[in-house]
Structure 1
Amino acid sequence: MLPSTSFRPLDPETDWAFFDPGFHVPQEIQAEVQALTEAGSAELWTEHVSANPNERHPMLLPGSHWLKPKLQGPNWMPEFNGKQSEAAVGTFLQEVFELGMQELILFIAMRERSYSVPFGVFLRHWPSFVAGDDEGSFLFHPRSGAFACFGPNGSLSFGRRSANAA
């Protein structure tokens, strides 16, 4: 992944959702969420998402970009708002990513803000990640190319980056 110097402590202002009592993220779980520094996040974005400085957010990526999901998942909003008790989002993500619970995965909100987190922690606390940016943020596993996009109005979709995507 990235060198340890690419990480910063979670900040109650920048990473507010991890500290909000409504999201119930205990301190021991917060310790497993590694926020990337702006420089580390920019390095990750440039390497895996886009080298174009004007494309700093998923909503600014061109239609020709590789981030094109192929499979539609459940609407995340009912679960996020507590109106649906089943874990449809987690079940969907487990089925499509096929990762171990300790496997590190990246949550990318934009060029300046990304997180590295064990997959199991993400599954249990995904609302905290999505609360910070629900306009195209995505979960990405670089080794497999698997990604899931969390879009506005609860859209959740999955795809796999092809080996030749730039």
Structure 2
Amino acid sequence: MSAETLTQVQALTPDVAAQLWTRHVSVHADEIHPMQLREGHRLQPTVSGPDWLAEFDAVSSEDTAQAGRVARFLSSHFHAAEAAPVFFMTSRTLAYALTPAALAACWPCLLAISDEGPLLYQPATGNFVYFSPQGVLAGGEDGLVPDS
């Protein structure tokens, strides 16, 4: 990952990550991971994306990551607020904030941290994307975007 891209990625403290999760994902204490969200949770995917797993195995550089179908899907999904951060959440207490541009460049690096069903969420738009452990990308919009 380039130094410029790295400056656009910030690890959140566990407390800040937990506040983000509670506000935007779930207030239920037993829902501590995206794969533990209850059936019928409001973050239900409505859009399918490309197979991230096949592309992940083929990516060898940041440029390759940015040129692929996964990066195009992520960029189109989070395009409405380019400056607004996207949060990569692997659990209630582990999250990273990054720009949409950094996301397109370093999504394979994030999945190296966790590929166990992480969630991307952009509070400014309410858009979200799940990376399923089976390689499926799926997303949608929760419709509960806070007032600006």
Of 52, 55, 62, which residue of structure 2 is paired with 1:79? 55
**One-letter amino acid of the counterpart of residue 96, structure 1:** H
Q: What secondary structure, in the 3-state scheme, does the structure 2 residue paired with 1:81 have?
A: helix
Which sections of structure 1, spanning at least 5 residues, go unmatched? 1-24
- Note the C-alpha offset of 1:79: 1.2
For residue 36 of structure 1, what is the aligned residue in structure 2? 12
Higher relative contact order (CA 8 A, sep 6+): 2
- Note the C-alpha offset of 1:29: 2.6
Of 78, 82, 85, which residue of structure 2 is paired with 1:104? 85
User: How does the TM-score come out when normalised to structure 2?
Assistant: 0.85
The whole-number CA distance in structure 1 between the counterparts of 2:10 and 2:122 is 15
Give the RMSD, CA atoms, in angstroms.
2.0
User: How does the TM-score come out when normalised to structure 1?
Assistant: 0.77
Q: What secondary structure, in the 3-state scheme, does the structure 1 residue paired with 2:144 have?
A: coil
Of 84, 94, 100, which residue of structure 2 is paired with 1:119? 100
Q: What secondary structure, in the 3-state scheme, does the structure 2 residue paired with 1:106 have?
A: strand
Identity of aligned residues (%): 34
Q: Which has the larger Rg?
A: 1
**One-letter amino acid of the counterpart of residue 133, structure 1:** S
Number of residue pairs matched by the alignment:
140
Which sections of structure 2, spanning at least 5 residues, go unmatched? none
Residue 28 of structure 2 is aligned to residue 47 of structure 1: no
Q: What secondary structure, in the 3-state scheme, does the structure 1 residue paired with 2:29 have?
A: coil
Distance 1:29 1:94, change over 3 A: closer
The whole-number CA distance in structure 2 between the counterparts of 1:50 and 1:89 is 26
